[in-house]
Chains A and B, each alone.
Chain A
Amino acid sequence: MLGIKKRYITIVALIVAVSMFAVGCGGGAEQGADTDKEQAADVIKIGVYEPLTGTNAAGGQMTVEGIELANKLYPEVLGKKVELFIVDNKSEKQEAANAVERLIGKEKVNVIIGSYGSSLAMAGGPVALDAKVPVIGCSPTNPAVTLDNDFYFRVCFIDPFQGTVMSNYATGQLGAKTAAIIQDVQQDYSVGLSSYFEKAFKATNGDTAIVAKVNYNTGDKDFSAQLTEVKSKNPDVIFAPGNFLECGILVAKARELGINVPILGGDTWEAEEFLNQVTQYKDIYFSTHFTAEEPVTQVSTTFLDEFKNEYPDKEVNAFAALGFDTYILALDAMERAGSADSQAIRDALAETKDFQGATGIITLDINGDATKTAVIKKVADGKFVYETKVDPQ
């Protein structure tokens, strides 16, 4: 009796597995047929590699929403249809390298967009460089991403700029003389921003101005000990850049512990998930890319309106905006180059100047990094509210 039951289960499981596989393959084959058809009609292919699963999945998914929105609004360039190829890199480096290789080798894309997470971008970068296919990063902020790579560009700020902007804001606008830093030692973003904040803050306020520097690890949920330590040092401001996931909890916890000094962070905070955690608190400031109150560019308004139409139940976030910008920048470069040839796109990208994106007016410097205006926002009345703008030097 038991044997029969067991075999029955095995057979059912196998059938489920096979049918799942068959559906997948069937879909894939059909997809392939579509691709062939469109190949004849000549489409322009844009590859996207983002972490859709794994530890960075949230950021990747938000970015893809922005890219898809842009694709919907601007489906054509040079009189041809643009086709997106979105592949998941599982938040793993070897998968990121495979994904880029696949986009280039198999899908034969003209240009690539990605990836959230600098370490993933650094894994994909060399592959694209070898194949001479340009990549536009949406949110990898580690300065090393574009280093020694002529084919990697990005539309976001890099860590040094943001760290310095926040330090200046803390000293100038908030009148801070002392600061505490809480950083995620596993995130290059957090470590990088903290390091530049510290340098700039010490330069203006003296070497003893950083009264506490404490660490936590990605995935931590309990920050009470770190915050109690910070509380005991009584700083004028706290700088705590990091993932919105951990930071949301961290900032809320700080307020629960009765720490009422301003808390500062970076552009990752421009996310619904962060706002949800801190909605009843104030004096939370962060640098970001755009604002609805005072749109940096015309495109910002378009983006904000269209995002509301497309995803009515979602809050606008920085990653979607950056994803949006990478896509329209890619299209713009193709138009300027007058061709969809990868080398031509690269050359056009390298000359990008005063490009109107949703996240500001973007000029790419010699490294391929964006220099653009930073917006500082704060949390007030359960919303993100525009505070001020900081132009790059």
Chain B
Amino acid sequence: MSMDIFLQNVANSITLGSLYALIAIGYTMVYGIIRLINFAHADLLMVASYIAFYGILVFTLPWYWAFIIAVVLTTIMGVSIEKVAYRPLRTAPRISVLISAIGVSFLLQNVAIVVIGARPKPFPRPEQLVWNINMGDISFLSLTILIPIVTFILLLLVMFLVKKTKMGIAMRAVSRDFETASLMSVDVNKVISTTFMIGSALAGVGGIMWSMQYPQVDPLMGLFPGIKCFIAAVMGGIGSIPGAMIGGFVLGICEIMIVAFLPALSGYRDAFAFVILILILLFRPGGILGENTVEKV
């Protein structure tokens, strides 16, 4: 493999990895707080993309307004989903909440099919954000630089929130021990709502970035990235925010490099992601950065 092909693969890995990382952060936050695989998280990507799509093309808003509105609406939606579908099940078995999450995801997809239709739509890329960069034989989109920067800024922001603010301390308390936290007069509902707010906002940004990179929106677009990013979150150590970032990058790099070095196995690429997931779950359930804790009685 020549040097420029290798560098091209590196550029590809960074783009894919940072997208995975961005979405995985949302998963990991929600999981960290209420131990729930939020299947609906992936569909929020789709919601955000459609809102941005309609904002730009139908309401002819400037792209930044469309993006801001999309993120805000997605955030509201995420928080309402938690209120309606997860909060009543706070004391129910974990399986019930998981089924509820699957139900919400199912509902969002099908409502989108009924209301918007199943035909994919081209996502309008703002010219100010997307252009081609050529460096010798390597070429990539400006997004290859933009997405990691956005991911990194958001990561720092979320880390700051969690580590330094009062709300962040409350979040960590709730994730450690639900009941004790509430006894210590932490408003658990408010903390969970805030977590969903941040997670959904990240899903909103992630959805828009995803649609700019792969400019096509359809009702089932969240299905695959959703599962991949959850895998990334688990790899990094679910519940750990820097872990999600690392997991996203590791998965992205692995996926690109397996095709690069073993092109004959490219058909098995998705299986490969699941194999990593299962190996991590079995041998290092805490993930790369997570703590290996024994579940309490």
Contacts and interface: CB of A to CB of B under 8 A. Distances in A.
Interface of A: 6, 52-55, 57-58, 60-62, 185, 212-217, 219-222, 224-226, 228-229, 231-232, 245, 248-249, 252, 256-258, 273, 276-277
Given A58-B119, A256-B139, 19 more contacts: A54-B118, A55-B220, A62-B119, A185-B267, A214-B266, A216-B267, A219-B220, A219-B224, A221-B224, A222-B16, A222-B256, A224-B256, A225-B9, A228-B260, A229-B263, A229-B266, A252-B215, A256-B132, A258-B139
Contacts of A220: 224, 269-270
A215 B216 contact: no
Interface in B1-39: 1-2, 5, 8-9, 12, 15-16
B111 to A, nearest CB: 12
Interface string B185-226: 000000000000000000000000010011110101001110
Nearest to A185: B267
A212 B258 CA distance: 15
Interface in B115-145: 117-122, 132, 134, 137, 139-141
Range of interface residues on B (Cβ < 8 Å)? 35 or more
Contact of A221 (B1, B225, B256, B258): B225
Given A58-B218, A220-B224, A232 B119 contact: no
A236 to B, nearest CB: 18
Contacts of A57: 113, 118-119
A245 B137 CA distance: 28
Given A214-B259, A256-B132, A256-B139, A228 B120 contact: no
B268 to A, nearest CB: 8
A215 B272 CA distance: 14
B138 to A, nearest CB: 8
B225 A256 contact: no
Given A57-B119, A212-B263, A258 B16 contact: no
A273 B260 CA distance: 29
Enumerate the 6 nearest inter-chain pairs by beta-carbon distance, A residue then B residue, closest first.
Answer: A57-B118, A225-B259, A224-B12, A215-B267, A276-B122, A221-B214
A60 B223 CA distance: 20
A13 to B, nearest CB: 10
